[in-house]
Amino acid sequence: MTAVATAPVVRTEARSRAHEIWRIVRLHAVNPSIFFGIPWMIIGAAWAISLIITLIIRAGSGGDVTTEDLDNMRYSWAVLSPQWYLVVVGVQAIGFTFSFALGFGTTRRDFWVGTSVMFLLVSIMYAAAIATLVQIEIATDGWGLGAHMFDALWYGQNWFLDFYTSFALQLLVLFIGASVTTVYMRWRMRGMMILLFTAIALLLAAITGVTLTGSWPSLFAWFGTIGIAGVFSVVLGLAVVSAIVGYFVIRRATPR
């Protein structure tokens, strides 16, 4: 009555891996407000606030504004404002979209690879946008007001460095959010607790180690020698490690 279950699967339509991965990218982008709309709103809002603050500073100093007053704005973190939100996006990509994609019949492997492609594309886009906005801000002399929103912190040396640093940071932010969530999806609360305490223990051990061996000066000196590009290469390295760890963790993760 029954045929042998080990008979080969009847293939309906050949599907390429590229297709299976690309549909995950499309799934992340089907509601564009998550990856694009809200981050741009945050950037826009931060930009508007920066301009208003610039106007207030100008008004407060009675038109007698020095560039030093405005240069203090270089230390506002407005340019990084979307990053906090994008950590949450990384968390949601795994916490919600993962369960949904499994229901739609994807593999964990393709889901993670597709999500990584999405993160890569999003990071490239924001890095290019921010690096370009830095240049526009410099070219327009702070939007005609001497404001510093994008040309702030370490930004403003050249387009490529701005692009590289933004890209590395963006990728780290997304992958940290996503890979930590894979730990939750696989081991639930217990896994999160172990991860948290392990991270704290490692951090304390590192600080203690550096302090006891008196290596703080040489550590700072090392950061000095590798420069901003070097520091962000470390950031990029951490992002890649998160991506690889996340891949192995999600392979056995189960949806809520």
Partner 1 sequence: MTGTVVRATGLTKRYGSFTAVDAVDFSLEENRIYGLLGRNGAGKTTIMQLLTGQLFASAGRLEVFGREPAEHADVLRRMCFIAESQRYPEDFTPAHVFKSAPWFFENWDAAFAEQLVSDFRLPMKRRIKKLSRGQLSAVGVIVGLASRAPLTFFDEPYLGLDAVARHIFYDRLLEDYVAHPRTVVLSTHLIDEVANLLEHVILIDQGRILLDRDADEVRGSATTIAGPRNTVEAFVADRPVIGREGLGGLASVTIDGRLDQRDRIQAAELGLELAPVSLQQLIVHLTGTDLAGSTEQENAA
User: Footprint of partner 1 on this chain (CB under 8 A)?
Assistant: 1-9, 11-13, 15, 20, 23, 26-28, 30-31, 33-34, 92, 95-97, 99-100, 102-110, 251-252, 254-256
Return the half-sphere exposure (C-beta side, CA atoms, 13 A cut-off) of residue 75.
4
CB of 30 to partner 1, least distance (A): 5
Which amino acid type is present at position 251? R
User: CA of 221: how far to CAs of 60, 69, 152, 161, 229, in Å?
Assistant: 40, 30, 23, 21, 15
Cβ proximity to partner 1: between 40 and 96 the closer is 96
Which amino acid type is present at position 231? V
Cβ proximity to partner 1: between 131 and 176 the closer is 176
CB of 124 to partner 1, least distance (A): 22
CB of 53 to partner 1, least distance (A): 31
Q: What's the length of the chain?
A: 256
H-run or E-run covering 87? helix 81-92
Cβ proximity to partner 1: between 24 and 130 the closer is 24
Neighbouring CB atoms inside 10 A of 256's CB total: 9
Cβ proximity to partner 1: between 66 and 256 the closer is 256
Please check whether residue 109 is in contact with residue 182, taking contact to mean a CB–CB distance below 8 angstroms: no
CB of 87 to partner 1, least distance (A): 14
Cβ proximity to partner 1: between 3 and 212 the closer is 3
Q: How are the residues of the chain apportioned to helix, strand and coil, as percentages rounded to the nearest 5?
A: 80, 0, 20
Cβ proximity to partner 1: between 20 and 69 the closer is 20
Helix (H, G, I), strand (E, B) or coil at 63: coil
CB of 169 to partner 1, least distance (A): 22
CB of 214 to partner 1, least distance (A): 47
Residue in 193, 203, 20 with CA at minimum distance from that of residue 112:
20
